[in-house]
């Protein structure tokens, strides 16, 4: 059960912010050198028609057993989730209402007045009745230290603050992620994106339809132009390779647009409700 808790705590929902989708109180736990920040308003996602259809098709696991054992139900109790990655550790920062009953036999350690539950690989801590942290033990301890030192949030926070506050799914990162891309294999192609990149942002809204926007800001206008040409080429080749009997897949390609504005690229996907059903069916068939 303890091995599951750090994972199931990764459900989240909305809080009210004046700037961007990230609550500054949660940002204070993120490493100052974070390469990537991401957030989820999962209660809204779970309430969306798209999620319900996926759950019906894929049979997503429920947490009723966990709720009975611990009093903690992620689908009910978690109000917001932020993930911060600094190249070594990932820390999950959850906001909600936590009244967890931890068994007395659970492995635990004390750290600066907080109780960490877990093992050498993963741990979680209830900071208070509204905030919980999960991740590797070094990452969780560093998050506690960061908050106690009065940190104002990582450098990436300024990019997150520029995003719409109502974003159900959001992420920001910068070119330091290039060092984490494999040198070989298919993923190595991502270096073409990250090497000339300054920073990127992603926002997505899920309801009856899907709408997502990926924006990349590059060092030079030439870099942005090269990536724009490459992205449009990939989309064009992909659409040409679609079998004649899969016209719905062609509509999915048509739902994606690529636009360059000086040093920035915007990739936008707007999938209408009727196409969402077909896309889910295609994914389910595969």
What is the per-residue pLDDT across 113-154, written as a single tens digit (0 to 9) for each? 999 988 888 888 888 888 889 898 999 999 999 888 876 668
Q: Minimum mean pLDDT among 42-56, 156-170, 260-274: which range?
A: 42-56
Section 235-254 average pLDDT: 82
Using DSSP's 3-state secondary structure scheme, residue 206 falls into strand
Choose the most confident range, by mean pLDDT, from 59-63, 117-121, 220-224. 220-224
Has residue 38 got a pLDDT over 70? yes
pLDDT > 70: percent of the chain: 82
Residues 210 and 126 grouped into a single domain: no
255's tokens:
């739902």
Structural domain contains residue 76: yes
* φ, ψ for residue 216, nearest 5 deg: -120, 135
Output the domain CATH number for residue 262: 3.30.70
Q: Which residues are paired to 94 by β-bridges?
A: 81, 132
Residues 101 and 141 grouped into a single domain: yes
Residues 123 and 237 grouped into a single domain: no
Residues 117 and 213 grouped into a single domain: no
Has residue 180 got a pLDDT over 50? yes
pLDDT at 112 (0 to 100): 92
Average pLDDT of the chain, as a whole number: 80
Q: How far apart are CA 79 and CA 77, in angstroms?
A: 6
Q: Which residues are paired to 109 by β-bridges?
A: 116
Residues 46 and 115 grouped into a single domain: yes
Residues 39 and 105 grouped into a single domain: yes
Residue finishing a domain among 133, 148, 163: 148
The position carrying tokens 């994972």 is 7
Q: How many CA atoms lie within 13 A of 124 on its CB side?
A: 23
Residues 29 and 140 grouped into a single domain: yes
Residues 238 and 134 grouped into a single domain: no
Given 3-state DSSP classes, what are the helix, strand and coil percentages for the chain, each rounded to the nearest 5? 35, 30, 35
Q: Minimum mean pLDDT among 6-10, 46-50, 108-112, 226-230: which range?
A: 6-10
Has residue 102 got a pLDDT over 70? yes
Residues 11 and 124 grouped into a single domain: yes
Residue finishing a domain among 148, 165, 197: 148
Residues 267 and 187 grouped into a single domain: yes
Residue finishing a domain among 129, 148, 167: 148
Residues 106 and 44 grouped into a single domain: yes
Give the number of other Cβ atoms within 10 Å of residue 279's Cβ: 18
Has residue 221 got a pLDDT over 90? yes
pLDDT at 16 (0 to 100): 41
Total structural domains within the chain: 2
Question: By residue range, what is the domain housing residue 53?
Answer: 5-16+23-148
Task: State pLDDT tens for residues 247-274.
Answer: 777 888 888 999 999 999 999 999 887 7
More confident position, 239 or 85: 85
Residues 12 and 135 grouped into a single domain: yes
pLDDT at 42 (0 to 100): 75
């Amino acid at each position: 059960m303890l091995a599951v808790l750090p994972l199931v705590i990764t459900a989240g929902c909305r809080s009210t912010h004046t700037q961007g989708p990230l609550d500054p109180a949660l940002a204070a736990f993120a490493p100052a050198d974070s390469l990537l920040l991401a957030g989820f308003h999962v209660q809204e996602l779970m309430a969306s028609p798209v999620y319900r259809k996926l759950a019906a098709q894929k049979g997503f696991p429920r947490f009723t057993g966990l709720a009975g054992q611990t009093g903690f139900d992620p689908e009910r109790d978690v109000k917001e989730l932020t993930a911060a990655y600094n190249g070594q550790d990932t820390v999950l920062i959850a906001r909600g209402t936590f009244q967890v009953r931890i068994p007395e036999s659970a492995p635990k350690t004390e750290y600066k007045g907080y109780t960490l539950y877990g093992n050498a690989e993963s741990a979680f801590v209830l900071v208070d009745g509204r905030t919980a942290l999960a991740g590797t033990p070094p990452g969780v301890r560093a998050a506690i230290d960061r908050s106690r030192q009065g940190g104002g949030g990582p450098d990436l926070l300024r990019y997150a603050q520029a995003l719409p506050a109502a974003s159900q799914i959001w992420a920001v990162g910068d070119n330091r992620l290039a060092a984490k891309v494999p040198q070989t294999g298919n993923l190595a192609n991502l270096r073409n994106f990250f090497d000339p990149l300054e920073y990127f942002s992603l926002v997505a809204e899920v309801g009856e339809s899907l709408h997502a926007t990926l924006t990349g800001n590059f060092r030079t206008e030439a870099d942005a132009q090269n990536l724009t040409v490459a992205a449009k080429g990939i989309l064009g080749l992909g659409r040409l390779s679609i079998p004649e009997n899969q016209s719905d897949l062609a509509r999915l390609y048509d739902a994606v647009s690529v636009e360059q504005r000086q040093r920035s690229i915007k990739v936008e996907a707007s999938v209408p409700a009727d196409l969402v059903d077909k896309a889910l069916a295609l994914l389910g068939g595969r």
